[in-house]
Every structure is written in structure tokens, then in C-alpha cells.
């Protein structure tokens, strides 16, 4: 197994681009670099090994726990799917399937822990420490797929590292977390927090009187039928798409992904959207009025609504030809809602739906 | 220091606010925040939401004060902004509740309701906040702020008869607390 | 014969003086003979009396502070366009130090003046101050970057690759903002974008380091719980 030094250097460079040019390689750094190269080559070995896996082994697990109609449920997994559905009653029923492509010994090293408390149940997957060298291959070798049925009124805390999460019908407050697992939910009005690195996020039927905060690094964020008093979105390269949206207070920070809001503006709402190169697009049904503060270094600004700029008569806002650095302050109607949009190169469009 | 007339329309103060004087705006806040906060916290049913609405109102006021032409007193102008924000709050919350069918907490009093065992000093403010959302808005607008049922019906988007029955319902609940 | 009890809302109207003379007479006739309704009317009057004692409610002190901050930020933008990014740079540097302390990387502050950022009067001075802010930023993140690059092996390759790619995306954005600022030092969008991108990079590095730390402990379950509970973005 050759150490791929070039790949290693590229990796280091990519991270260190903005570091001071005077950084010298020290012995310590060389040692760290070597360690990283070793781990890389081990993970390559694992990838090869996995191609030669054996037949699937499986183990099932089943438990019912009483929590009450508005109890709290938490589920924490590493690899494998989590599916949550609702049923009447006050019981939580947990069904899980452990799967492994190695020997049965692997299965027994993974434990499903269910902790019961009055009004609360915590479910999690635990990996016992395997012996070396298996330790390096431990991760997605054994997966656990959960199917959990809960009373509709419970509040839920679900997290997974790489497995996908799917929730439908839970009406209590919900918090989601994943590293790379996708997160999908529907008929879940009270989602309040979601955080992922690269998982794809698709939430539907949100009706949040409080606030909903969603953060991803590269995962796209797709919300459909979302009503919220406050919505906070944060991503580096994910796309943000809000459809059938009625949000009163919105803050969105993106960098490379596009932002799109289709829906209505609340009469006295406030919308702050920041982007670097991603475009920002509002497609709104008629509105009693809004004030637009749009600023961009090189992105074009346009509006389907005839706007009043600085107290003069109304005019069209269309992209201007030639070099432009836009900084626009205009209003439409009674100017009651506020749109603050800032981009670097992304275009800014306020369209009529 | 300007002389502020009791009806709240200190002409000089407003002019200073319009010129961008933040300290003048702070004075304006001092004069009117109490009344506005009372309205927003009672209408929304929570001091937290009330505080939030208070800030929204004054931020918007700051943004729009240059458009204030003196048709009314500055106090009335602020108050109207506040009423608008409160109505938006109430209406969008109602819209969200309507959307969520079989909502488990349809007419549920807020979590604090458990504490309304009769106490020596009656906390009327708290009792009002604990009213069910539906009748609370109508009650505050009618009995506290003095609007007519006809006006309330328009503001809340309900029938006049509904406004009357909501106010009655609220009075009955408060009667139980004050007894 | 006792007339039927008036409806609740009618008694309400009575108490509110909103009945016609005939209606009022009818209600009063009933009240003369009905103790229950008399009691209800008395109670309704009691509610109104109590309500009339309501007064304005003083909001918490913090309410004004937040309004003031937002307003001052806004006014400053209009009066002296260069001020907000300097204030933002100072805030950014502070946030970075806090973030580094949390990550256990950097225990002490650098010597040079955090607080001494005065509003610039010309383009050169602006650039000089920007350079200073950049240097603070560079020192701050290089510690985080060292950890992130050295320990990335603790993360699974796909996640490590995602984070690296996104750091590169942010670096590219920083490069674009820098170039823009060079060509137009007075451009507010360029200044703001540079600072926003700095903030994004630091936040991404902090999150990467935090994730690595959790993975290193060998417990993947707590990594995902970490993702659920982590709310480090201070701003």
C-alpha cells in the first residue's frame, strides 16, 4: 500500500490556503502528516476489504415502552436508518434490525440500549470497542435499522451519523442531527432545530409558533409548506429552497448555494438573507408592502414590483448594464415588511408569483 | 430637555428622532414603551413574545419615523404600529393552528395555567395572559383597549357575534380567577 | 312568570351600556327577580373594574439595549460607511478568540490592540486597518487549521472530504472578496462579504475541530448527539 503523498499534500494545502506563507514544516508536522497518510492507506485497505464481504447476518430487537401521550423520545444511531411513525395510544414500540456483513461476532459487539424513565425513553446504538486491527474497520460494518412508532404528541430528539432519518406525523417538538445522513420529515409541525454536515434535508408541513433553526455545511435544505414565526438557516454550499412559505422573521446565511423563497411575506415581517455567490430569489404573491435594502458587489438586482426609490416616483428595477456595485434602498406599497439582502456576486431577484 | 405634552406629541422630540438622533429616540421609547409592552404582552399572552413584539414595533418605528406627518400624535402612531404587529401575531398564529388539524392543544391554556390556584394578591396580568388565545385577543381589544365589537371583528377577521361571545367567555374565566 | 335568563352576551351588553332602552328595561326586570343573574352581573362589573386598574407595564431593561444596538448599527452605516466593518472586524476577532478558547487551542490573547480601532479617514487608512484585522484573523485560524488538517483521519473519508471541499469553497470566496476590495477599497458589499466569509471559515473550522474531537473519543453516537446539541455559532 503506497503512501499517496501527493494527495496528502493537496489535502493539507487545501486547508492551509489562507495560512501565512511563512509556515515551515516542522518535525511534529511531518510526524502528523505521516500518521494521517497511514490512516488514509488503512481506510483504502478497508474499502478494498469490504468488497469481499460475506453474506448478511441479521438480528432483530423488539421492545415496547409506555411513555404517555406527550412523553419524550430520543433515538441516537450511527449507521442504518431511523424511521419514526405515529399511532394512537401511549406506548412507544421499538423494532430494530442489526445487520452485519462479517461474522456473527460483529453483531454481538453492537448493542441497542433502551433507557426508560418516567415519561421518557432514550434509545441508542452502542459499539463495543473491537480488538485491533478491526478497530480501524469498525464503522459502517454493522448497521442498525430502527422502526419506532410513537404517540403523536411526543417530543422527539433524533440523531444519526451516517444513516438516514425519516419522521412522519410527530406533533411535539423535534430536534434532528446527522453528519451525513439525510433527514426527511412530514406532518411535523414543531421541528425546532436541525443540524447536519452533508445530509440532504427535506421537511414538510412545518407550523412553528416559535423558531426553527437549520444548519448544514453542504446538505441542501428543502422546506415545503412552512409556516413559522422565526426561521434561521445557515449553510456553506447547500441550496436553500422554501416553497409555500409564510415566515414572519427569516435569517439566512449561505455562501455558494442559491436561496429561493416562494410564498408570502408577513405584513410586518423581516427577512435578512446573505449569500456570497449564490443567487437570492423571492417569488411572492402580492404583498401590502415591503422595503428592500439590496446590496451586492457584482450581482444584478431586479424586482417585478414597481418600487419607489428614495422618495422619487416609482420605477422599474432591472439589472443595469456595465460595471455595477449595487446598493439599493427602495420600497413597495406601505413598506411595512423589510427585506435586507446582501450578496457578493449572486443576483438578487424579487419576483411576483 | 424638551417639554413633553401629556398627550405624547412632543413636536421637538419627534423632529430630533426624524433627524436620526438616537438619544431622542431613546426618550420616545421611555415615554411609550410601557403602554406598548402592556398591549403586546397581553395580546400575545407571554412576556417573551411581548418583548419581541415591542422590539419589532420600535425597530419599525425607527425605520418609518421620517414618514410620520403629524396627522395624529406620535403616541397614537406608535400604538397603531403596535396594534398591527399584535394582529399579525394573533392572525398568523391562528392560521398556523387552523392548518394543523387534530391539534392536540386546540384550546389548551398555556403551560403556566396550572398555577392559577387562587392567590392572595390577584395577578390580573397573569390571568389575562393565561386566557385561551382565541378569546384573549378580543378581550384585550375590547375591555382593555376600548375597541368596539364591530372594529374588533374587522381587525381579527371574525364575525361581530363571535367577538361578543369571545369577550364574554374571557370575562367568565377572569371572574373565576377574581372570585 | 319569570322570563328566561338573558343570554350571556346580552348581560355583557347590559354591563357595557350597549342595550337600547327597551332591552335594558327587560334585563333589569329579570334581574329584579333572579339572584343568579344579579350575581353574574356583579361579577362582570367586578372584572371590568379590575381591568380598569390595569396600567402600562415596564418592559425589561434588555429590550431597549437590543433596539439601541440595531439602531446604532444602522445609523452608523448611513453616516460613516466605513465604520460598521471595523466594528464587525472587532466583533469577529472577539468571537474568534472565544471560539479558540472553547476549542482549547489558544489560551491567551495577542498583545496588539483589539480595542484601538478608530474610524478611518481615508482609503489608505482603511486598507491599513483591514490588513491589521486580517492578521489577527490569520493568527487565529492557523491554530484551528493545524488541528483540522492533522486530525482529519479521525473522520470518515467522505465527511473529511466534504469538510475540506467546503473549506476550499470558503477560501475561494475569501479570495474573491479580497480581490474585490483591492479594486474597490470603498465598496461596502466587498468589505461586508470579506468579513462574513471570515466568520464562515472560522465557524466551519470550529465545527470541524469539535466533530473531530468527538470522533477521536471513539464514540460515534456522541458525535451525532453533538451535532444535535451543538450550537456554537455565537452570532
Task: Identify the structural domains of chain B with CATH numbers, from first to last.
Answer: 1-95 (1.10.1740.10), 104-179 (1.10.10.10)
B159 at C interface, C-beta within 8 A: no
Q: Considering only A62-76, B90-104, C164-178, C214-228, which range has the smallest mean pLDDT?
A: C214-228
CB contact under 8 A, C149 and A127: no
**Which chains touch A (3+ CB pairs under 8 A)?**
B, C
Q: Which residues of A242-265 are buried (b: 16+ CB within 10 A; e: fewer)?
A: beebbbbbbbbbbbbbbbbbbbbb
Q: Give CA separation, A188 vs A214, A227, A279, A282, in Å.
A: 15, 12, 29, 25
Q: Which of B51, B54, B100, B108 to mutate to test the interface with A (most CBs of A within 10 A)?
A: B100
> Which chains have 3+ CB pairs within 8 A of B?
A, C
Inter-residue contact A144 to A159 (CB < 8 Å): no
All residues of chain A having their beta carbon less than 8 Å from the beta carbon of residue B84 are 267-268, 336
Q: Do C189 and A129 touch (CB under 8 A)?
A: no
C:16-55 residues touching chain B, CB 8 A cutoff: 40, 43-44, 46-48, 50-51, 53-55
* Inter-chain touch B174–C55, beta carbons under 8 Å: no
Residue C97: predicted pLDDT: 47
* Contact assignment for B84 to A171 by CB distance below 8 Å: no
Supply the DSSP string of A82-102, one letter for each residue: EEEEE-SSSEEEEEEEEEESS
Which string of DSSP letters, residue by residue, matches B123-145? Answer: -HHHHHHTS-HHHHHHHIIIIIT
What is the C-alpha separation between B10 and B28, in angstroms, rounded?
9
Measured between CA atoms, the residue of chain A closest to residue B58 is A268
**pLDDT for position C130:** 63
For C59, which of B22, B26, B37 is closest by C-beta distance?
Answer: B37
Tell if the CB–CB gap between C225 and A18 is shorter than 8 Å: no
- The beta-carbon neighbor of B59 closest among C12, C54, C67 is C67
3-state secondary structure of A266: strand
To test the contact with chain B by mutation, choose from C12, C41, C44, C49 the residue with the greatest count of B C-beta atoms within 10 A, namely: C12
CB contact at 8 A, B2 and B24: no
Buried b (16+ CB within 10 A) or exposed e, C189-199: bbbbbbbbbbb
Structural domain C62-234, CATH architecture: Up-down Bundle (1.20)
Task: Please give the pLDDT value at position C98.
Answer: 47
Q: Which of A207, A268, A335 sits opposite B99 (nearest CB)?
A: A207
Q: Is the pLDDT of residue C13 over 60?
A: yes
The pLDDT score that the predictor gives to residue A280 is 97
Can you give the pLDDT at residue C53?
A: 87
Kindly list the residues from chain C whose CB atom is less than 8 angstroms away from the CB atom of residue A129.
218
Higher pLDDT, residue C102 or A200: A200
Dump pLDDT digits (tens) for B98-123: 766 544 444 443 433 334 444 434 58
Residue B111 confidence (pLDDT): 39
Cα A272 to Cα A73, A151, A189, A234, B134: the distances in Å are 34, 37, 23, 12, 31
Confidence at residue A129, expressed as pLDDT on a 0 to 100 scale: 64
Return the number of CB contacts < 8 Å for A and C.
Answer: 178
Q: Which residues of C touch A33 (CB under 8 A)?
A: 150
Mean predicted lDDT score pLDDT of chain C: 73
Cβ <8 Å between B64 and A335 = yes
C-alpha dihedral over C47, C50, C52, C58, to 10 degrees?
-130
Q: What pLDDT is attached to residue C118?
A: 40
Interface membership of A268 toward B (CB under 8 Å): yes
E strand or H helix at A117, and its extent?
Answer: strand A110-117
* ipTM value for the complex: 0.78
Q: Who has greater pLDDT, C125 or B71? A: B71
Share above pLDDT 70 across residues of chain C, in percent, rounded to a whole number = 61
Please tell me the predicted confidence (pLDDT) of residue A353: 86
Q: Does A236 touch chain B (CB under 8 A)?
A: no
Q: Which among A69, A209, A267 has CB closest to B96? A: A209
Contact A16 C145 (CB under 8 A): yes
Any chain B CB within 8 A of the CB of C68? yes
pLDDT over threshold 60, residue B32: yes
pLDDT in tens, B57-101: 999 999 999 889 888 899 999 999 999 999 999 988 888 877 665
Averaged pLDDT of chain B:
83
C88 CB-near residues (< 8 Å, 6+ apart): C192, C195
Q: How far is A183 from chain C (nearest CA, A)?
A: 12
Does C1 score more than 50 pLDDT? no
Which one of A70, A209, A270 has the shortest CB-CB distance to B93? A209
- Do the Cβ atoms of C174 and C194 come closer than 8 Å? yes
Residue B8 pLDDT level (bands cut at 50, 70, 90):
very low
Q: Is A119 left (phi over 0), alpha (psi -120 to 50) or beta?
A: left
Chain C residue numbers touching A160 (CB-CB < 8 A): 224
Where residue B3 falls among pLDDT bands split at 50, 70, 90?
Answer: very low
- Cβ contacts of residue B157 below 8 Å, gap of 6+? B91
Q: Which residues of chain A have pLDDT under 70?
A: 1-26, 28, 35, 38-39, 41-54, 102-103, 129-140, 310-314, 319-325
Q: Is B18 on the interface with C (CB under 8 A)?
A: no
Residues A86, A88, A91, A96: is their CA dihedral positive or negative? negative
Over residues B11-27, the pLDDT tens digits come to 789 999 999 899 999 99
Mean pLDDT, range C136-165, rounded to an integer: 76
Is the Cβ pair B60, A266 closer than 8 Å? no
**Shortest Cα distance, chain A CAs vs residue B65, angstroms:** 12
User: What pLDDT was estimated at residue C156?
Assistant: 80
Nearest CA in chain A to C180: A297
Check A197 against C176: CB less than 8 A apart.
no
Comma-separated ranges of CATH 1.20.120 domains in chain C: 62-234
What percent of chain B has pLDDT above 70?
Answer: 80
pLDDT digits (tens, 9 = 90+) for C29-80: 999 999 999 999 999 999 999 998 888 999 998 999 989 988 887 655 554 4
Per the model's pLDDT, the better-predicted residue between B44 and C157 turns out to be B44
- Cell 453616516 locates to C79
**A153 and B CB contact within 8 Å:** yes
Which has the higher per-residue pLDDT, C208 or C233?
C208
Q: Give pLDDT, residue A26.
A: 67
Minimal CA separation from C4 to chain B, in Å: 19
Predicted confidence at residue C224, as pLDDT, reads 62
Q: Give dist(CA A194, CA C122) in Å, integer.
A: 44
The Cα A169–Cα A85 span in angstroms is 6
Amino acid at each position: 500500500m503506497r503512501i499517496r503523498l501527493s494527495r496528502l499534500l493537496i489535502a493539507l494545502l487545501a486547508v492551509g490556503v489562507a495560512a501565512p506563507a511563512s509556515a515551515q514544516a516542522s518535525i511534529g508536522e511531518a510526524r502528523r502528516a505521516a500518521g494521517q497518510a497511514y490512516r488514509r492507506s488503512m481506510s483504502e485497505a478497508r474499502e478494498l476489504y469490504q468488497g469481499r464481504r460475506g453474506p448478511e447476518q441479521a438480528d432483530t430487537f423488539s421492545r415496547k415502552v409506555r411513555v404517555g401521550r406527550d412523553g419524550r423520545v430520543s433515538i441516537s444511531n450511527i449507521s442504518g436508518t431511523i424511521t419514526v411513525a405515529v399511532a394512537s395510544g401511549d406506548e412507544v414500540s421499538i423494532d430494530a434490525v442489526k445487520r452485519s456483513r462479517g461474522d456473527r461476532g460483529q453483531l454481538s459487539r453492537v448493542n441497542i440500549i433502551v433507557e426508560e424513565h418516567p415519561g421518557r425513553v432514550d434509545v441508542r446504538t452502542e459499539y463495543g470497542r473491537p480488538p485491533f486491527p478491526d478497530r480501524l474497520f469498525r464503522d459502517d460494518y454493522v448497521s442498525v435499522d430502527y422502526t419506532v412508532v410513537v404517540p403523536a404528541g411526543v417530543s422527539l430528539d433524533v440523531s444519526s451519523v451516517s444513516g438516514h432519518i425519516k419522521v412522519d406525523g410527530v406533533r411535539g417538538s423535534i430536534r434532528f442531527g446527522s453528519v451525513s445522513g439525510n433527514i426527511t420529515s412530514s406532518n411535523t409541525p414543531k421541528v425546532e432545530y436541525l443540524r447536519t454536515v452533508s445530509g440532504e434535508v427535506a421537511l414538510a408541513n412545518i407550523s412553528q409558533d416559535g423558531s426553527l433553526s437549520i444548519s448544514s455545511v453542504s446538505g441542501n435544505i428543502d422546506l415545503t409548506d412552512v409556516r413559522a414565526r422565526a426561521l434561521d438557516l445557515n449553510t456553506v454550499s447547500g441550496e436553500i429552497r422554501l416553497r409555500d412559505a409564510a415566515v414572519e422573521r427569516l435569517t439566512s446565511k449561505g455562501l455558494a448555494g442559491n436561496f429561493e423563497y416562494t410564498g408570502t411575506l408577513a405584513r410586518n415581517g423581516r427577512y435578512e438573507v446573505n449569500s456570497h455567490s449564490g443567487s437570492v430569489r423571492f417569488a411572492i404573491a402580492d404583498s401590502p408592502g415591503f422595503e428592500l435594502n439590496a446590496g451586492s458587489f457584482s450581482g444584478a438586482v431586479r424586482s417585478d414590483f414597481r418600487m419607489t426609490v428614495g422618495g422619487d416616483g416609482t420605477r422599474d428595477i432591472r439589472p443595469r448594464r456595465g460595471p455595477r456595485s449595487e446598493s439599493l434602498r427602495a420600497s413597495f406599497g406601505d413598506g411595512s415588511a423589510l427585506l435586507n439582502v446582501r450578496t457578493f456576486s449572486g443576483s438578487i431577484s424579487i419576483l411576483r408569483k | 430637555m424638551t417639554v413633553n405634552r401629556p398627550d405624547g406629541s412632543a413636536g421637538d422630540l419627534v423632529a430630533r428622532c426624524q433627524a436620526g438622533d438616537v438619544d431622542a429616540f431613546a426618550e420616545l421609547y421611555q415615554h411609550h414603551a410601557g403602554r406598548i409592552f402592556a398591549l403586546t404582552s397581553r395580546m400575545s399572552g407571554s412576556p417573551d413574545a411581548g418583548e419581541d413584539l415591542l422590539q419589532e414595533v420600535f425597530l419599525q418605528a425607527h425605520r418609518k419615523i421620517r414618514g410620520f406627518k403629524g396627522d395624529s400624535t406620535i403616541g397614537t402612531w406608535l400604538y397603531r404600529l403596535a396594534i398591527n404587529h399584535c394582529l399579525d401575531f394573533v392572525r398568523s398564529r391562528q392560521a398556523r393552528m387552523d392548518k394543523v388539524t387534530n391539534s392536540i392543544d386546540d384550546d389548551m391554556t398555556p403551560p403556566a395555567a396550572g398555577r392559577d390556584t387562587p392567590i392572595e394578591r390577584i395577578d390580573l396580568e397573569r390571568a389575562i395572559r393565561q386566557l385561551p388565545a382565541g378569546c384573549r385577543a378580543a378581550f384585550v381589544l375590547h375591555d382593555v383597549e376600548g375597541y368596539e365589537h364591530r372594529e374588533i371583528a374587522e381587525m381579527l377577521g371574525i364575525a361581530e357575534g363571535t367577538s361578543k361571545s369571545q369577550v364574554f367567555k374571557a370575562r367568565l374565566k377572569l371572574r373565576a380567577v377574581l372570585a | 312568570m319569570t322570563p328566561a335568563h338573558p343570554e350571556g352576551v346580552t348581560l355583557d351588553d347590559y354591563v357595557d351600556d350597549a342595550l337600547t332602552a327597551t332591552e335594558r328595561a327587560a334585563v333589569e326586570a329579570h334581574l329584579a327577580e333572579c339572584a343568579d343573574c344579579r350575581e353574574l352581573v356583579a361579577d362582570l362589573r367586578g372584572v371590568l373594574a379590575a381591568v380598569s386598574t390595569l396600567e402600562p407595564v415596564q418592559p425589561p431593561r434588555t429590550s431597549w439595549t437590543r433596539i439601541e444596538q440595531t439602531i446604532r448599527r444602522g445609523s452608523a452605516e448611513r453616516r460613516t460607511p466605513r465604520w460598521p466593518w471595523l466594528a464587525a472586524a472587532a466583533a469577529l476577532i472577539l468571537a474568534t478568540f472565544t471560539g479558540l478558547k472553547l476549542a482549547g487551542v489558544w489560551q491567551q490573547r495577542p498583545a496588539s490592540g483589539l480595542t484601538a480601532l478608530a474610524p478611518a479617514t481615508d482609503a489608505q487608512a482603511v486598507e491599513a486597518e483591514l490588513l491589521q484585522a486580517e492578521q489577527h484573523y490569520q493568527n487565529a485560524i492557523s491554530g484551528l487549521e493545524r488541528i483540522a488538517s492533522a486530525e482529519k483521519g479521525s473522520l470518515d473519508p467522505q465527511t473529511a472530504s466534504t469538510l475540506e471541499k467546503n473549506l476550499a469553497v470558503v477560501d475561494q470566496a475569501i479570495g474573491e472578496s479580497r480581490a474585490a476590495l483591492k479594486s474597490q477599497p470603498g465598496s461596502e458589499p466587498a468589505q461586508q462579504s470579506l468579513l462574513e466569509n471570515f466568520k464562515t471559515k472560522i465557524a466551519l473550522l470550529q465545527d470541524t475541530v469539535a466533530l473531530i474531537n468527538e470522533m477521536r473519543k471513539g464514540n460515534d453516537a456522541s458525535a451525532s448527539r453533538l451535532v444535535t446539541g451543538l450550537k456554537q455559532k455565537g452570532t
